Chain A
Amino acid sequence: MSSSDQDNGTYQIITLLPLTARVGGADQGIDETLSDRADTAVLNLQGVFLQCVATAVGEITVQSTLAEKLAGDNEEYVAEITRVFGDLQMQATAFGFPLAGNICASLCRYVETLDSSDDLAEQVVRAHATALRSVVDNTIDGDGGETGHDLIKSLDDLISRSHA
């Protein structure tokens, strides 16, 4: 592992052999074609994520309307929201969409604070779904800057009002 050692009694310095010896020699770099392929693969994964969000938002919106109409026991629906948005939050973090991740986290936090699943305010769910769709439609792959901050604040305000 080490090519040469120096030891003066107080400290020891160990010089390592470069790992390039294992991969075909020095200074070749990673093949650019392969590097571009990796780039493309990541873009594809991001595309899958965006599609997942669009599908999830669509499904949640439909379920939200149903839940409002039925106004009955919606424990399963609330559990589904936590599961779907929790997973989307992890995906958003992975694929470079922190604003989308923050929106999902906001909804998960809101659901956690509910005493009962019956307390779920549908307008809070729909506002989060709308916000998420907006981020996806515009592929905002950052924190959204000041506008992103305003968006999260608006959602927080809506949550506060629903608790009042």
Chain B
Amino acid sequence: MGYALKQLRVLVVDENKHILQLMRTILESVGTGVVQLSVDADEAFQFYCRDKYDVVFTDSEVKPISGLGFVDLLRTSPNSPNPYVPVVMCSADFDQESIKLARDHGVTEFLAKPFSAETVLSRLEAVLEKPRTFVRTNSYFGPDRRRKQNLNFEGDERRKTKLEAKVELKKEAARRKKAALSENVEAIDELAKD
């Protein structure tokens, strides 16, 4: 018996309609009550103000105002119905700089693309179970940027073990596939020589 996600309302913003389809599939598979999709940050903010959502997943490069601009709207616009909403930012190219910038704009969690059902659901669990304390200063409003780490955790790591096993299997399969692919590289090189 797990969470009754039927009560949950999730907003997903991404320009790529296939990513939206993937997110809808994952979230609806686990019983999420409402999954609202949008390809545009302005439209998404209108949805957010009108219907109020519990969790927001947004790509870092949504148009026309960028993912960070969208997070600014969620956090600081007087029209925002809930400035504390957990925001998970998704991107294919996170680096230290972009993560720091996103954190300074009030992003709660990060999700690297391409993602699997497991990674999406692990972020969803994180925002459900561990709400971040919010901080308001003259120059910042958003989740506390300091993370607490419990080094004395002694519980079982069932989920982690399962994930690790899957990753190992995938690595082995990838090794075999790469060998097959290299044959085609040679064929294309031959074509380039003709």
Contact = CB atoms under 8 A, between A and B. Distances in A.
* Residues of B contacting A: mostly: helix
Given A14-B134, A16-B134, A19-B86, A130 B184 contact: yes
A142 B121 CA distance: 21
B3 A38 contact: no
Contact of B128 (A2, A20, A123): A20
Interface in B101-127: 113-118, 120-121, 124-125, 127
Contacts of A150: 182, 185
Which of B1, B29, B86, B185: most chain A Cβ within 10 A?
B185
Given A13-B134, A23-B4, A34-B30, A127 B114 contact: no
B165 to A, nearest CB: 13
A31 B1 contact: yes
Given A28-B2, A94-B22, A131 B82 contact: no
A42 to B, nearest CB: 5
Contacts of B188: 127, 130-131, 151, 154-155, 158
A17 B127 CA distance: 11
Contacts of A38: 25-26, 29-30, 117, 120-121
B16 A90 contact: yes
Contact of A90 (B18, B182, B191): B18
Given A90-B17, A95-B114, A28 B3 contact: yes
Interface residues of A, number: 63
Given A12-B135, A14-B134, A34-B2, A45 B29 contact: no
B185 A151 contact: yes
B95 interface: no
Contact of A23 (B7, B117, B184): B7
Interface of A: 1-2, 10-20, 22-24, 26-32, 34-35, 37-39, 41-42, 45, 49, 90-91, 93-98, 123, 127, 130-131, 134-135, 137-142, 144-145, 147-148, 150-151, 154-155, 157-158, 161
28 contacts: A11-B135, A15-B133, A16-B84, A16-B133, A16-B134, A19-B128, A22-B8, A27-B129, A29-B125, A31-B1, A34-B2, A35-B117, A38-B29, A38-B117, A39-B117, A41-B26, A91-B18, A97-B114, A138-B180, A140-B178, A147-B178, A147-B181, A148-B181, A151-B184, A151-B185, A154-B185, A154-B188, A158-B188
